[in-house]
Amino acid sequence: MTDLLPAAADPGTTVHVTVRTTPPGVTGRGPLRLDWSVTSSTAGRQVGYEIQAAPTQDFAAGVEGIGPVAGADQLDVTAPGGPLRSREVRHLRVRVATDAGWSAWSEPATVEAGLLAPADWRADAVTLPDDPGAGEQSPVPLLRKAFELPAAPRRARLHVTSLGVHEVRLNGVRVGDHLLDPGWTAYRQRLLVTSHDVTDLLTAGPNVLAGRLGDGWYRGRLGWDPQEDRCRYGRQVGLLAQLEVELSDGSRVTVGTDATWHASTGEVRSADLYDGCAVDLRHHQEGWDRPGFDDSRWAPAAVVPLDKAVLQPRVAPPVRVVQSFRPERSPAPGGAVRLDAGQNVAGVVRLTVRGRAGDTVTVRHAEVLEPDGGLHTRSLRSAKATDSYVLAEDGQTVLEPSFTFHGFRYAEVVTDAELVAAEVLAISSDTSPRGTFECSDAALTRFHENVRWSQRDNFVAVPTDCPQRDERLGWTGDAQAFAPTACTLFDSRSFWASWLVDLAHDQTADGAVPSVVPNILGDGEPALGRAGWADAATIVPWAVHVAYADTEVLAAQLPSMRALVSYLQGRRQEDGLLGGEFQFGDWLDPDAPGDRPHEAKTSSDYLANAFFAHSARLVARTATVLGDTEQARAHTALADDVAASTWARWREHALTTQTGCAVALELGIAPAEAEAEVGRALAGLVRDAGGRIATGFLGTPLVLPALTRTGHLAEAYLMLLRHELPSWLYQVDQGATTVWERWDAIRADGSIHDGVMHMPNGDSQMLSFNHYAYGAVVDWVYRTLAGLAPDPEAPGYRHVVLAPRPVAGIDRVSASVATALGPVGVDWATDGGTFTATYRLPFGVTGTLLPPAGPDSVVSVDGRAVAGSVTLGPGEHRVSVTEADIASPMQPSLR
Ligand code: BGC
């Protein structure tokens, strides 16, 4: 094969390589994997490649290679060199053979391993002795260690993690820009370590390494039960840091946290994720994190037990400030100042005030305003979401809370000091933007933006349901519903991969998946195994694979996926079906009683079996990708069997609800010969309802795909573009800047839903203005309105299905997805009956164009008349379709 590769050079081709750090949790245990994108003015396709790994950037010695290999692979390719060792630095480069010759080597991509083995650690976790924080909120521990370096550093790395959340400083300078490190994982099995390059922060002579500790998820409030919402993971926080310095003379110095450190407290008197932060600057210890500070009155640090076997390098993206806003200011009742960021965010307010010593400043937060203009805080339930400050001196001070965040658009500041400036800092797990969408319908464009924000705001270390109330948990149902959309909007591959490791850790021995991951709800009902929640175990890895071509995530998760299915098998009743258990079901069906969101129209037993069949099928598909034909065969048989019995039992019922039909079509429950009939039933239900949404968390993401699959586009658009309650665009008209949890969170008369719930396990209240689950429709907007869809058979957008389905009323759409191969994009427009589009496909990507052609259309691609579907290669293509097939919802509610 490889002798078919060219010998000549291809100077017109350039390769850009990126290393996929292996799934979190197995770094160092598997070989690295690479993606590369190619740009070329000379070549049309890749025919082979060669990869090299070396310890130095010049590739002068110690080179290991793979290839030349014949093939077009550019995604998810195994790199040479095997697993990394602790502290190893490795450079990787790629060159490709094209139909025009060999490219030059790419610029190298560099990876560096952290500490991969428990034995690498000499440090011990430390904290303040007799820290009272376990029982109540208490001052944030400060920790410091002064040390000398006999010579200037050549290279220095700081490996750090904590029980609780931390911030570290070297010589008074904050190390890195991560917030709330080490994030939230299944701490008892997995605690993430961040490694920082701190070479530039050290000098010869005296130095100080210092840190602060917050309660975070480890010890702070977590969950809505005030009786047991603290100390979920432990009673003592602790900082574990190991600084490894290589000096200019070649010698090495290691400074680790241990009993020789000193501990005290400072101005942060309390910090909690839900309640906020209290700062009293009169307790500030000036210079505490720098050399020369007298720490003789500080206590010796106490060592906290920490099992080094749970330490793993962080590979998931850290939480950072991702955007800042200058809020509008206006007077609020009682002399307060109201701030309006114009955007609902997860984040904090930073203030600059000018005041006098002893002045206080209080900042409260809320997502929306009450009709009378006051802050709406009822939805926060018990989360105080309040930051407070006491000034220590006269003059100007910058105030910012630590170790907390709030879900808010509005804040109210009460103070006697002068408010000089205010900034709203939005935080998120820092995934890079991937999808862009804009169209001539301003409301739909804004809805897309709202969904992006709900993702940003809810991707804070784990995928949460909401960022504001006393909850913020990794609800698995919300995650599975939204995962495909999340993968389109932001590069969330490693974010999901990390969370899935925790999901598997939190699965019970018999395979049940908790309703929230990390699981803090225990192992009773409704904490385990709910249909459409537990199935995140199969649905999320598959969504990641389709979007990014990630066989490694599939391989890592297959045991977890199989375990869920075998758990469900074990719960089948005599008739072979699941039944009779509590289910969240089609949660928040707008026709369910407002206070009992689980009492949806669609049978939850039907849904339980449909998701069971679907999960079994996803195991089969995964096993097929991984080459395990036996596993694939057994799970296909199981899926077919469960689907057939489910259909036999619930066919009639399924045809009566939108969720029933959509699930039957999208989860493969209806047999192929029944699809058209189910599609007609669904379309009829949608038409009869005038496009009104009649589905909850499980049905909503599937309705438009099901209508599209069966050719009922007019009905799909009737729903998408509806403005009356309940609909996606209603909330946009109401001024929403994120996606709401309840369709009618704010009613047409401006009143706010009371959110009251009566559940089998007790009464509660639930109303969030920032829940991404219903935003799942955005994936359909990319696939169908814009017409950009990844093909599961050639995942990672190696092959895309370009099937735009225009609709009357939207005459212009632009969309793109920044794939690892390069940006895939389309701009289309309709004018009269003519559809015109420009496609951009990067090197390595092919597309199948299914033009929106009617019976009398003339279709041309790049000036040539064509018929039927057309294959497009890399490059820019112009498409036009006369007398195009343009869907027409023709309903009064369509603007
Ligand atoms: C959460 C949801 C979640 C649901 C499960 C709620 O409290 O906010 O989004 O999926 O409970 O029933």
Give the separation between CA 445 and CA 455, rounded to whole angstroms. 16
What are the CA-CA distances from residue 858 to residues 68, 100, 394, 603, 801 (Å)?
Answer: 45, 35, 76, 47, 20
What count of other Cβ atoms lies within 10 Å of the Cβ of residue 367?
Answer: 30
Residue of the CA atom closest to atom 5 of ligand 1: 584
Q: Which residues contact 93 (CB under 8 A, 6 or more apart)?
A: 17, 51, 52, 59, 105, 106, 107, 108, 109
Q: Is 370 known to be catalytic? A: no
**DSSP state at residue 887:** B
Alpha helices in 356-475 (DSSP H): 442-458
**pLDDT tens digit string along 220-247?**
999 988 777 899 999 999 999 999 999 9
CA distance 62 to 53: 8
- Dump pLDDT digits (tens) for 801-856: 999 999 999 999 999 999 999 999 999 999 989 999 999 999 999 999 999 999 99
User: What pLDDT does residue 803 have?
Assistant: 98
**Rounded CA gap, 98 and 10, in Å?**
8
Pocket test for ligand 1, best of 225, 465, 763 (most atoms within 8 A of CB): 465
Q: What is the reported pTM?
A: 0.97
Q: Check residue 199 and report its DSSP letter.
A: G
Place of tokens 């093939």: 71
Helix, strand, coil fractions of the chain, as percent rounded to 5: 25, 35, 45
Low-confidence ranges of the chain (pLDDT < 70): 1-4, 22-29, 135, 890-895
379, 380, 480, 587, best to mutate for ligand 1 pocket (most atoms within 8 Å of CB): 587
Distance CA(78)–CA(549), nearest Å, equals 13
CA–centroid distance, 215 to ligand 1, in Å, is 24
Residue 893: predicted pLDDT: 39
471 a catalytic residue: yes
Q: Is the CB of 845 under 6 A from ligand 1?
A: no
Name beta bridge partners: 165.
214
Which pLDDT belongs to residue 28? 56
Token pair, residue 594, equals 């407002």
pLDDT value of position 556: 94
- Two structure tokens written together for 436: 């862009």
Residue from 468, 478, 586 to probe ligand 1 pocket by mutation (most atoms less than 8 Å from CB): 478
CA of 533 to the centre of ligand 1 (A): 10
Of 453, 440, 550, residue with least CA distance to 500: 550
Q: Say which of 167, 367, 471, 715 is annotated catalytic.
A: 471
- Dump pLDDT digits (tens) for 15-32: 999 988 754 444 556 789
Ligand 1 near 587 CB (within 6 A): yes
- What pLDDT shows up at residue 892? 40
Q: What is the pLDDT of residue 5?
A: 83
